[in-house]
Amino acid sequence: AQRAGMGRALMESEPVFRDTLVKVDQALRPHLGWSVLDEIAAEESRSRLTEIDINQPVLFAVEVALTALWRSWGIEPDAVMGHSMGEVVAAHVAGALSLEDAVLIICHRSKLMRTLGGRGATMAMVELSVEEAEAAISPWSGKLWLGGLNGPRSQVLSGDPEALKEAVAALEQRGVFCRWVKMDVPSHTPLVGAISRELEGRIARIAPRSAQIPLCSTVTGEFLDGAKLDVAHWGNNLREPVRFAAAVQRLLTSEHDT
């Protein structure tokens, strides 16, 4: 979702967006040692947004600032949901996580993910049903998993880079539409089990609380009490598949429409 210069125009033209970015940057900087404001202002030739420990904190800051901007326009959500790392933003927006706790999670999450990168592409979207995708990766059991269940015919395969290359080639030979995801970390699979457990230890001091806005989790596909967004939840958020389709369906069947 990230691109060089994202948020730059809003930072220059919208005071609420800019002021919120400054506030979030001040919270992030002690953990990062660099400024998200500088990254947003950077030209494409100097942008580092392809690096996961850079793009996740920047995305977090931009998403929090966008929410503040929309609220300044009188747009308030009836419920919130976030895809993968976006659930950290959703939990903060809902009031379940303080800014400090949300920052702690996103910074340690992205730094730990960086330690597993650099081996090649680890994710690809495929135009298959869940059942078809599970059957397609069965020859690579223990190497490939469904990392994202995004729609009736939109799944994300995640895992070992070499196994994923083989699986995508086989699917394309069958005429299945595949698109590589710009990710070199096998998120949402057992391969991140070790760093997900380390994440839980690093964020042990967070204090989740009941949300002020209903939050539908893409970890479970159900509404969750904010007080249950504990360290184990955030470990699962990195390790378990993203149940986006289930969460969307749950929202559609609820009374919430914004």
Please state, in angstroms and rounded to a whole number, the distance separating the CA atoms of residues 91 and 76. Answer: 15
Q: Say whether both 152 and 32 belong to one domain.
A: no
Q: Which domain holds residue 134?
A: 123-184
The enclosing domain of 16 has a CATH number of: 3.40.366.10
Residue at 230 is within a domain: no
pLDDT in tens, 114-132: 999 888 889 999 999 999 9
Please state, in angstroms and rounded to a whole number, the distance separating the CA atoms of residues 49 and 11. Answer: 17
Residue at 2 is within a domain: no
Q: How many domains does the chain have?
A: 2
pLDDT in tens, 164-189: 999 999 999 999 999 999 889 999 99
Q: How far is CA 115 from CA 8, 92, 209, in A?
A: 29, 26, 31
Q: Say whether both 63 and 145 belong to one domain.
A: no
Residue at 257 is within a domain: no
pTM: 0.94
